Each structure stands twice: as C-alpha cells, then as structure tokens.
Amino acid sequence: MLTHWVEALSTWAVPFLLGFIPFFGWLRGVKVYETFVEGAAEGFRMAIQMIPFLVGILVALTVFEGSGAFDAVIGWIAKPLQHLGVPAPVVPLMLVRPLSGGAALGITTGLLHRYGPDSFVGRLASTLQSSTDTTFYVLTLYFGSVGIRKMRYAMTVALLGDLAGFIAAVYICHRLFGP
C-alpha cells in the first residue's frame, strides 16, 4: 500500500511542479512566459561565458593523459596506496574524480564491468564516485561563470574535502565489505 503511494508520488511530482509553479506565478500576477524567456536568455548567456573554461579544463585533461604524465603518476602512487588498502585498479579513479565527472564515471563503469559490482573494487569505486566531487570542474565552471579570478582557499579546502571523502570511502568499504 505504501509503495503504491510512493510510486504515485514519484510519478506525479515533476508534472505537478511543472504545472503548479507557472499557475502560482500567474495567480500572483507574474508574466510567466516572459519571465521564462528572460531566464532562458540569461542561461544561454551564462553558457556562452562558461565555454572557454570548459574547453580549457578538457584540453588540460587531454594533455595530461596524452603526455603520459597520468600513467606516470599512477605508477608512482599505486604501490604506496596498496599498502594503505587501496587496490591498484581504483587509483586512476582517485586521480580523475576531482578533474572530470564523465571520465570518472567511465573508469567506474569499466571497473564494474571488469570486477563486478559486488566485488571490493566495485564497491569501493562506487563509494568513491559518490563521496567525492569534480573539484576542478566545479571551481572552473562556477568561479569562471561569475568572473572570480582569485579563488583564495576554495581549491585547498575543496581538495581537502575530496581527500577526506577518499579516506572515508576506503575506511568504510574496508569495515563493511573487507577485501
């Protein structure tokens, strides 16, 4: 009975909001369509402003991987991380996740196909994917779109947050799933 109500709620939540919000605006005297078009135009202008920052980060990622530096960094840190309980196949995910969500999702998908979702590597990869963020992408996109050039401590704090997420994911996966 409860699952039926939850299913109905989840099915109708978005259509309800899509109808209710314009109706509520109309009741309050807001020119709904004109306001929507203004917001869409502003969103388009913002998207145009973000393109250089997105291209920059994608080029940097491609150069980093194409130069062989990515593989070199993985080789340097894989052994020490294995001693800390991080399986070698997960190391590329740990390096890519702060840079690119799409690339991290690709790596996670590959790990899940190769090792299985119920393996320790699969569970750790899934936990890492959900407990960290695409720090450089977010900082580049958000700070760039509003014109902030000096990030001060934002990058340091965000990377420390990612590190905390990595450490917590490894610890929790070892405690819950053990290799």
Using the structure block, give the residue that is written with the tokens 């314009």.
22
Cβ neighbours for 114, distance < 8 A, ≥ 6 positions apart: 89
**For 46-55, 71-80, 108-117, 127-136, which range has the lowest pLDDT when averaged over its residues?**
46-55
In angstroms, the CA 120 to CA 82 distance is 13
26-51: pLDDT as tens digits: 999 999 999 999 999 988 887 787 78
**Which percentage of the chain shows pLDDT scores above 90?**
40
**Mean pLDDT score across all residues of the chain:** 87
**Which percentage of the chain shows pLDDT scores above 70?**
99
- Residue 69: its pLDDT value, please? 86
- Residue 176: its pLDDT value, please? 92
11-24: pLDDT as tens digits: 898 999 989 999 99
Q: Is the pLDDT of residue 147 over 80?
A: no
Using the structure block, give the residue that is written with the tokens 């990377």.
159
pTM above 0.85, yes or no: no
Contacts within 8 Å (CB) and 24+ apart, 3-8: none
83-107: pLDDT as tens digits: 899 999 999 999 889 888 888 888 8
Q: At what angle do helices 120-131 and 101-115 cross, to 10 degrees?
A: 160
Q: What would you measure as the largest C-alpha separation in the chain, in angstroms?
A: 64
Question: Residue 119: helix, strand or coil by DSSP?
Answer: coil
Domain parsing of the chain, residue ranges: 19-177
- Residue 62: its pLDDT value, please? 82
